[in-house]
Copies of this chain bind each other. A is one copy, B any other.
Amino acid sequence: MTKKPDCIELTHGSGGLATDRLISDLFMAAFDNPELARRNDGAVIDRVDGRIVVSTDGHVVTPLFFPGGDIGQLAVHGTVNDVAVMGAEPLSLTAGFIIEEGFEVALLEKIVRSMGAASRAAGVPVVAGDTKVVERGKADGVFITTTGIGWLKDGIDLSCEQARPGDAVLVSGTVGDHGLTILAAREGLDLGPELKSDSAALHAMTKRLTEAVPGLKVMRDATRGGLAAVLHEIAEASGVGMLITEAAVPVSDAVKGAGELLGLDPFHVANEGKLVAVCPAEQAEAALQALRADSRGSQAAIIGTVTDDADRFIEIETPFGGRRLLTRPEGDPLPRIC
């Protein structure tokens, strides 16, 4: 057995013996599954009869490790969720690593093991991958691009364009946790154990929701730009407005405190384990119960209603009975949040 190097070298990305050893020692061990073990250019997934869903996401989060998670598990959860919110059952993942020369092998191993654990916990294997190495100063540690493949059952057709006036808007739990955790970590602030990323795989929840709510129209995970970005995307795509009850949107005390301290609105920052759903009003209660039945959805809430508004405004009803507009964010106020 060859001694493992301490740092990633350019030759680890050159497709030869060094790449082989890195793949065997590190990736195979962490992602352990028979398709990957065949070492072909790609993987064969089980037979599928029906529509296939595919989604891809690059992960460039900084710091690489943060309270509640790391880039590896985030990459798994993010892509599992992108497939799941389309109403599909995630089948497999692929992972492309772009690594900076000099990156510590021990850190890479920690990240890859975390990905492996998240993938096994979700039951969605990493079946194919790729490793590239770029020179020192040409990347930032490690970037991970994951792609998810899913199977979409007949009869399910969710899309952002389907919200109609009168529909109910739900969120699956507290908002702002991931974004404020990352910012606090960057600022070196320890705001206590309550403030941590909500990074989680939501495919059990989305399955439950699609089964319980035949009229379900939209599911979206509220990542970059947070709740505000998702509500605006749905309103924009459907040509509607929304009226959201501020007090109905769950925000943890830790996030509230961090938001005030750091000057960020929890509605505007990323979540990595929360979804927004839209369904007909008469099925809202069934949707709420389905969300709450999931271990990740105990704080789910009906937060508002879709309105007939040619301006596509998202109005927030404040606890004092006033109304304000929820601005459409230019983007997540934090770069490299995921």
Contacts and interface: CB of A to CB of B under 8 A. Distances in A.
A121 B137 CA distance: 36
A41 B133 CA distance: 28
A159 B38 contact: yes
A92 interface: yes
Interface in A310-338: 328-337
A137 B143 CA distance: 14
Contacts of A98: 58, 60, 98, 143, 145
A115 B109 CA distance: 33
Given A15-B229, A95-B56, A335 B135 contact: yes
A18 interface: yes
Contacts of A17: 328-331
Contact of A10 (B38, B58, B94, B335): B335
11 contacts: A11-B330, A16-B331, A19-B224, A44-B52, A46-B52, A54-B92, A56-B94, A58-B97, A58-B98, A134-B143, A134-B336
A237 interface: yes
B16 A58 contact: no
Given A16-B331, A145-B58, A42 B96 contact: no
Contacts of A172: none
B132 A58 contact: yes
Given A98-B143, A139-B139, 19 more contacts: A11-B331, A13-B336, A14-B331, A15-B229, A16-B225, A17-B331, A18-B331, A41-B83, A41-B85, A41-B86, A42-B82, A42-B88, A48-B51, A55-B128, A57-B130, A58-B130, A96-B145, A130-B145, A149-B149
Contact of A14 (B134, B147, B159, B225): B225
A53 to B, nearest CB: 5
Contacts of A160: 38-40
A3 interface: no
A265 interface: no
A132 B329 contact: no
Contacts of A60: 13, 98, 132, 134
Contact of A94 (B91, B147, B237): B147
A161 interface: yes
B148 A145 contact: no
Contacts of A16: 224-225, 229, 328-332
